[in-house]
A and B are shown apart, each in its own frame.
Chain A
């Protein structure tokens, strides 16, 4: 196991804790999907990022997470990999509090990390991506003028008008 020489606490105020509130979490076979109800954003965590997120219980530090990750993935893991995951999770508001990365992580992005760790470690590189795609077509049949509606997407005209206490499609 490669480790960084200077161990630092995971955060300035304690160990990282995964955010639980206002999130919809869907576990898929190879990844975890997260929808942030507050920010209206969807994220995809690859297996490594998802494992690190799962370790964030407010008690486990980066060094202990590195050991757990090694055992789980059955490959050598550098502690910087855990920090990279924590950094991405933090930037995407998936931790209760923003983390303070140690100095060795300052300014290192994922590409630089992959280069620094070498090809052997690539399988363990954590990735948190935003899911951005056109909204899939609504499955329902659109509604014609005068038909009651709750929102614009339900109307063929894409315009749900409030008339008195009712709402109908324009």
Chain B
């Protein structure tokens, strides 16, 4: 998986040294994780391009090309509706991440992530619920937990306008966006290889005026997370991280982190991720404890998610304390929620 996707975000990729049998094995994984078009991009100019697996990847690329064209029309429409109501919005992830690639069809996205001023949030939701906007899958945010120390005004001040059709689209600034992509990757346990490709694509296309201090922010732990995600893109996907200042270079990544990510990439399916991986809701065990042990085992946290959830550092220390901390947090949330429900 890592070898197939290495450097896949570049216009001209490096040679791909995998066999047809290996491509056959990796194709379903690429498909399931939304990386099929990137797979096609990698094989398109190799002797694997005429194989049945390559044909499947090519179809994904074609579909994504159409989906991307459809999404762009929807983004244009949403921004027109918001502009008419004088509602400010900043577009993040999805289309913005797709723009980091040499071809917009390479990076699929399902919904349109928009960030609104808190005071505009309800108006925005009303607009999004209107009949004209119902065909647009918009995920409205008034904040991002990944960027919790950055206010909307700060994000807005650093955002910029780009043209899309007849509309001006406001997109998140490069510094904040790289921070968001990096922390989002770790927050979700880095199970989707596409997210690490996003970081590789972002780090290799930074604008000349990119401000690392803005990107890394004031929170030291989060800054280290961002640096860690960037190093991960180098380690697994051969990203060229030379824009990262030497003072921020890590000595090496913890081996457990690399091994956990690769283990997840062996089966990068959404169904393996919580809460879909949970056999049934925790509350149901209060009535019928049968299967509780299995339910608890399924809830044992991924070490990456556990580290982020307790604001931990990605270092060489064992993850058990972080995983226990994560369990304690979730248990407290569960019982608090139960008390509220019953009370």
Binding site for B on A (CB under 8 A): 24-26, 28, 33-35, 42, 44, 131-142, 144-145, 148, 150-151, 153-154, 156-157
Chain B: CB-nearest residue to A141: B188
From B59, B93, B110, B194, give the contact of A153 (CB < 8 A).
B110
From A26, A135, A137, give the contact of B270 (CB < 8 A).
A137
Contact A138 B138 (CB under 8 A): no
Known contacts A131-B62, A156-B275; can you find 20 more A-B pairs with CB under 8 A? A26-B69, A28-B62, A35-B66, A42-B66, A131-B66, A133-B59, A136-B31, A136-B37, A137-B33, A137-B108, A139-B34, A139-B194, A140-B94, A142-B276, A145-B275, A150-B137, A153-B110, A154-B137, A156-B270, A157-B275
Contact B65 A26 (CB under 8 A): yes
**The 5 A-B residue pairs with the shortest CB-CB distance in the complex, in nearest-first order:** A138-B110, A133-B59, A137-B34, A139-B109, A35-B66
Smallest CB separation, B334 vs chain A (Å): 12
From B60, B70, B138, B276, give the contact of A133 (CB < 8 A).
B60
Is B263 located at the chain interface by the 8 A CB criterion? no
From B56, B63, B108, B281, give the contact of A139 (CB < 8 A).
B108
Contact B66 A154 (CB under 8 A): no
Contacts of A42 in B (CB 8 A): 62-63, 66
Interface residues of B in 101-143 (CB under 8 A from A): 107-111, 113, 128, 134, 137-140
Contacts of B276 in A (CB 8 A): 142, 156-157
Contacts of A34 in B (CB 8 A): 66
Contact B270 A142 (CB under 8 A): yes
Assembly CA distance A33 to B73 (angstroms): 16
Q: How large is the interface on B (under 10, 10 to 19, 20 to 34, 35 or more residues)?
A: 35 or more
SS class, residues of chain A in contact with chain B: loop
Contacts of B110 in A (CB 8 A): 138-140, 153-154
Contacts of A141 in B (CB 8 A): 184, 188
Is B172 located at the chain interface by the 8 A CB criterion? no
Contact B65 A33 (CB under 8 A): yes
Smallest CB separation, B262 vs chain A (Å): 19
Is B36 located at the chain interface by the 8 A CB criterion? yes
Assembly CA distance A138 to B195 (angstroms): 12
Is B64 located at the chain interface by the 8 A CB criterion? yes
Contacts of A140 in B (CB 8 A): 93-94, 109-111, 113, 139
Assembly CA distance A85 to B270 (angstroms): 41
Is B264 located at the chain interface by the 8 A CB criterion? no
Assembly CA distance A6 to B281 (angstroms): 73
Chain B: CB-nearest residue to A133: B59
Between-chain CB contacts (< 8 Å), 27 pairs: A24-B66, A25-B69, A26-B69, A28-B62, A33-B65, A34-B66, A35-B69, A131-B62, A133-B56, A133-B59, A134-B31, A136-B64, A138-B109, A138-B110, A139-B94, A139-B109, A140-B109, A140-B110, A140-B113, A148-B140, A150-B128, A150-B138, A151-B137, A153-B110, A153-B137, A154-B110, A154-B111
Known: A24-B73, A153-B110. A136 touches B34 (CB 8 A): yes
The residue among B69, B110, B276 with the most chain A CB atoms within 10 A of its own CB is B110
Is B32 located at the chain interface by the 8 A CB criterion? yes
Chain A: CB-nearest residue to B97: A139
Assembly CA distance A33 to B62 (angstroms): 7
Assembly CA distance A26 to B109 (angstroms): 17
Contacts of A26 in B (CB 8 A): 65-66, 69
Assembly CA distance A64 to B321 (angstroms): 77
Smallest CB separation, A92 vs chain B (Å): 14
Chain B: CB-nearest residue to A35: B66
Contacts of B109 in A (CB 8 A): 138-140
Contacts of B69 in A (CB 8 A): 24-26, 35
Is B49 located at the chain interface by the 8 A CB criterion? no
Is B273 located at the chain interface by the 8 A CB criterion? yes
